[in-house]
Amino acid sequence: MLQIVIPAFNEERRLPRTLHALRRHVAEHRGVLGRVEVLVVDNASTDATAEVARAASTSAMPVRVVRCTRRGKGAAVRAGLLATEAELVCFMDADGATGLDALEAAWRRLLLGADVAIGSRAHADSDTEARHCRTRSKGAAAYRRLASRLVPGIADTQCGFKMFRGDLVREVVAGLRTSGFSFDVELLVRLRAAGAEVVEIPVTWVDVPGSTFDPVRHGAGAFAELARIAWSTRGLVPTPRTPQAQPGRAAGRGTRSPMPLPAVIALPAVVAVPVIAALPTRSPR
C-alpha cells in the first residue's frame, strides 16, 4: 500500500484538479502502485478545502482529511506523515506541479534499496518550466547554496515530491521542528543522520500560479529557518541502520555505512547577521 500526503491551505480551486489527475493516474498504474490512499492535510484553511477533498474520495482511491491547526507547510506535512501507516509513503504539492510519473520512478528506487527518493528539478534528465521573476530566481539560487551546506550532494531540497520508507520517515519526522518553507532541509538532515540512503530522481515540473510563498514577505524567514536548522541539528550523530525487508526488496543487506553530517552551516555574514537577528516568531507558509 502507498499513502500520499497532500498539504493544503486554501486549495479549494487547485486541489480538485490535482486529485482528479491523481485518481486517473493511479487507475492506469494500479499494477505497479497497488492500493493507494490519499491524506489531504487541511492546514487551517478558511475555504472549502476539506469539503472538496472529501468529495473526491472513491473506493478506488480513498481520500482522508487530516486536520492540522498549526500553520505552515512543514507542520502540515509532519501531521500527514505521522497519520500514515503504510510501508511506502510520499508527499506531493496540492498544485500538481510535479508530473505524476515520479510516483513510479520513486517506487522503483525504493524497491531497489533506497530509503528516500526525492524529486529534483536540477537533475540532468528533468524537464522543468518556470515563470519566476528575477528577484525570486536570485533568491532561490542563494537559498540552494546555503541549503547545500546542510545537505551536501543534494541539488534540489525544495521540490514538492518526496517518497520514503514509511517506518523510517515516521520515526524521523516526529522530531521535525521547522514548520515553514525550509522544513524539507531539516527533514533531509535528520534522515541522513538516521543513516538513510537518499536518491534524487528526475521529474517533469511546471510552475503553477497560486503559490502562497512570496519572496519579498517570506524570503528572510526562509533563510532564518536555515540558520535555526543548522543550530538545532548541530549535535546529531549519524547512526548505522539495518534496513528492514520491503516488498520486492531482499532482506539482510547488512548495515549501511552512515553518511557524515555537515558541520554547522557557516552563513555569510551579510546574510547571517540580519537573518539571525530578526528570526520571525511565526514560520512563513
Q: What is the CATH number of the domain that holds 7?
A: 3.90.550.10
- Contact, 66 vs 42, CB < 8 A? yes
- Contact, 156 vs 197, CB < 8 A? no
Distance of CA 63 to the CA centre of its chain: 19
In a domain, 282, yes or no: no
Q: Which whole-number Å values give the CA distances from 38 to 61, 81, 260, 276, in the listed order?
A: 7, 11, 34, 37
- Contact, 42 vs 50, CB < 8 A? yes
Rounded to 5°, the CA angle 213-119-80 comes to: 65
In a domain, 134, yes or no: yes
- Contact, 91 vs 7, CB < 8 A? yes
In a domain, 33, yes or no: yes
Residue type, 147: A
Q: Name residues whose C-beta falls within 8 Å of residue 268's C-beta, 6 or more positions apart in sequence.
A: none
In a domain, 285, yes or no: no
What is the rounded CA–CA span in Å between residue 13 and residue 28?
Answer: 25
What is the rounded CA–CA span in Å between residue 220 and residue 59?
Answer: 44
In a domain, 39, yes or no: yes
Strand runs labelled E in 170-282? 198-202, 204-206
In a domain, 284, yes or no: no
Residue type, 186: E
pLDDT along the chain (285 residues), means of 10: 97 97 97 96 98 97 98 97 98 96 98 97 89 62 90 94 98 96 96 97 88 57 90 75 48 40 39 37 40
Strand order, beta sheet including 161-165: 63-67, 36-42, 2-8, 88-92, 161-165, 116-120, 198-202
The total number of structural domains in the chain stands at: 1
The per-residue pLDDT for 208 is: 83
In a domain, 283, yes or no: no
In a domain, 105, yes or no: yes
Helices 134-150 and 215-232, packing angle to 10 deg: 0
For residue 83, give its domain range: 2-277
